[in-house]
Structure 1
Amino acid sequence: MGTGEESRPDPSTEGPTSGEGAADGVRVAILAGGLSHERDVSLRSGRRVAAALRDQGLHVEVLDVDADLLPALERLRPDVVWPLVHGSTGEDGSLQDLLALLGLPFVGTAAAGCRLASRKPVAKAVLRAAGLPTPDYAALPQSLFREVGAQSVLRAVEDRLGLPLVVKPAGGGSALGVTVVSEASQLPGAMVACFAYGDEALIERRVDGTEVAVSVVDLGDGPRALPAVEIVTDGPYDYDARYNPGRSEYFVPARLDEAQTRTVGDLAVAVHRTLGLRHLSRTDMILEDAGTAWFLDINVAPGMTETSLFPQAAQADGPLDDLYVDIVRAALRG
């Protein structure tokens, strides 16, 4: 169910749903909203993608993920669905399984790949087993702190991983519940903030370097990296810095030399392939001065807002609207 009419996508305000060159009459249902903490970001992403596709003449309707979703899909009978629900059911494979049960082609990774990618500790374990660099970490559920004792657990974390650390929920995105811990006294508060967004914490050794996001597109001829986006922010790259213009500065393409550009692009493509992703993804990483690119996180449904990283990379590569249409056509092909 939705959380209120004021937050629901309103198809009547989304502009025309047809036009010349309507891509062979393709009907697209964009799924946005849902009940996760990232609902508002999802709504903004959905509206922007819908506008871009309509500008290219596709028939588009934006649907919320609530009790009206299945009747709406039955009424619309879309040729392809583009899930843009961030966090929880939007990226953990459950929504993708539902679309597969309904026999609807959809943009993005199938359920199995989503399950690997959406749980940060699982993704890190799979990628580390494949030989890809990711910082040392521990994944600890909230229940363990109650059973064993918080002080004992945190002491073990400090002894094994050292400081500084980054504490983040094992699932979800948009940097919600993420804290950079520079001193041991900050660690208990970081755990409390993390557990407000999930029952499992990923505690990761912090790596210093250049923060880079590399998006990947795969339209049927193999994955390729889009221009890297370098992120510079006044403080942590948190929710506010991501979605409120002015807090962060972006360099597209990133200010990297040829070898560094190849390194970050190769890592993003390797992550995409190793996790079995499809159509599009975005890998967040830190490039150390020594030259190693460290995997931090993978997004199978990257944000598409005005400050999001995937659209910035795509625009640096070519016309954004054309790429979105190509992604829809790739989903139609399977």
Structure 2
Amino acid sequence: MSASAFAPLRCTDPAAFGRVAVLMGGSSSEREVSLDSGRNVLEALQSRGVDAHAVDGIPALVDALVHGRFDRVFNILHGGDGENGVLQGLLQGFEIPCTGSGVLGSALSMDKIRTKQVWISAGLPTPQFVRLAPGADLRAAALELGLPVFVKPSSEGSSVGVARVLAEADIDAAIEVARGYGGEMLMEQMVVGDELTVGVLGEVALPSIRIVPKGEWYDYNAKYIAEDTQYLCPGLEGENEAAIRTLALAAFRAAGCSGWGRIDVMRDRASGELLLLEVNTAPGMTSHSLVPKAARELGVSFEELCWRILEQTL
């Protein structure tokens, strides 16, 4: 796939967008990452002449919309109500166009468990898992599923609240993590192999990225802080690269997603099988973020990427 896979820009006049709210920050556990992403998006849009303005959180946005201050929203509000369908339903009621997926795609993909259930029903591959209701016997579930496993909140992102259970001795620490969140948890069999991600922009799957952290795990620190994580793009070659892009698009569509997003995938080292992990409907746009890296591989600058995302609201 080459840059020619992208259609020509639909418009070149920034005035066509009207007044744009770049929604960032908010109150989720991903606030600081969202603020970083939002500042980058805001600068990129303004550099191309778009009348864009920062808005911190949904209450501030509602106040602005009630007073008719914006014509559309570039949503870069990570996690919480920015990605779970609440914002999307609100804007649908205001009849304000917004970047990214609609209510269904946002709500479903924010819930890792339900997303995996949909993928399974569609015949798409994903690691074995169990749903842990609040107060569930995590120890019994881990031993039944088979170690090693990951335990993570069903509706959090950015590797927040993830516990690794490599041996039975790790289970107590995972139980404490689960207690800290109190909600539904996902326990997923650990796949040993390559960690990959595929960005989606419209109908185009971007080149895959293989993530090689300096440490053993691609955790929050490796994602947003460390400077020694390697990102290999494209992450695979030949038929394998074509296969992961095809799988990513199928997973994106099956989850009811649209506009843009990112699919996280593991490639089992022993079998070579590709296994779907989750969908992100408002991916990061920081200096460490992966969708901009993949877009650059196709010759699309950060500024053009932001323009193309916003263009989808026209």
Give the TM-score taking structure 1 as reference length.
0.86
The more displaced of 114-123 and 307-316 is 307-316
In the alignment, structure 2 segments of 5+ residues that lack a partner are 1-11
1:308 aligned residue: 289
- The letter for the 2-side match of 1:97 is G
2:306 aligned residue: 324
- TM-superposition CA deviations, 1:84-136 (whole Å, max 9, x none): 11111111101111111111001010011111111000000000110000000
1:283-294 matches, within 5 Å, as 283-289=263-269, 290-294=271-275
Contact 1:167 1:191 in 2 (8 A): no
- TM-superposition CA deviations, 1:276-320 (whole Å, max 9, x none): 211101001111232211001110111111101111111222222
1:212 aligned residue: 196
- Structure 1 moving runs of 4+ over 4 Å: none
Name the SS for the 1:331 alignment partner. Answer: coil
Q: 1:130 to 1:284 in 2, by over 3 A?
A: same
Q: 1:92 to 1:24 in 2, by over 3 A?
A: closer
In the alignment, structure 1 segments of 5+ residues that lack a partner are 1-19
- The letter for the 2-side match of 1:162 is G
1:299 aligned residue: 280
1:126 aligned residue: 118
Contact 1:27 1:78 in 2 (8 A): yes
- Structure-2 separation of matches of 1:29 and 1:264: 34
Name the SS for the 2:59 alignment partner. Answer: coil
- Structure-2 separation of matches of 1:197 and 1:305: 26
The more displaced of 61-70 and 266-275 is 61-70
Q: 1:265 to 1:192 in 2, by over 3 A?
A: same
Name the SS for the 1:202 alignment partner. Answer: strand
1:44 aligned residue: 36
The more displaced of 44-53 and 285-294 is 285-294
> Is 2:101 the counterpart of 1:109?
yes
2:248 aligned residue: 268
Contact 1:93 1:110 in 2 (8 A): yes
- The letter for the 2-side match of 1:263 is A
How many corresponding residue pairs?
A: 300
1:1-334 matches, within 5 Å, as 22-24=14-16, 26-75=18-67, 77-143=69-135, 145=136, 150=137, 153-158=138-143, 160-218=144-202, 223-233=203-213, 234-254=215-235, 256-289=236-269, 290-317=271-298, 318-332=300-314
Q: 1:66: Cα distance to partner?
A: 4.9
- Structure-2 separation of matches of 1:157 and 1:77: 51
- TM-superposition CA deviations, 1:9-41 (whole Å, max 9, x none): xxxxxxxxxxx9534363211111111110001
Contact 1:93 1:115 in 2 (8 A): yes
RMSD: 1.7
Contact 1:21 1:56 in 2 (8 A): no
Q: 1:201: Cα distance to partner?
A: 1.0
- The percentage of aligned residue pairs carrying the same residue is 37
- Structure-2 separation of matches of 1:68 and 1:273: 32
Name the SS for the 1:325 alignment partner. Answer: helix
- Structure-1 separation of matches of 2:241 and 2:126: 18
- TM-superposition CA deviations, 1:52-80 (whole Å, max 9, x none): 11111101001011533222234463222
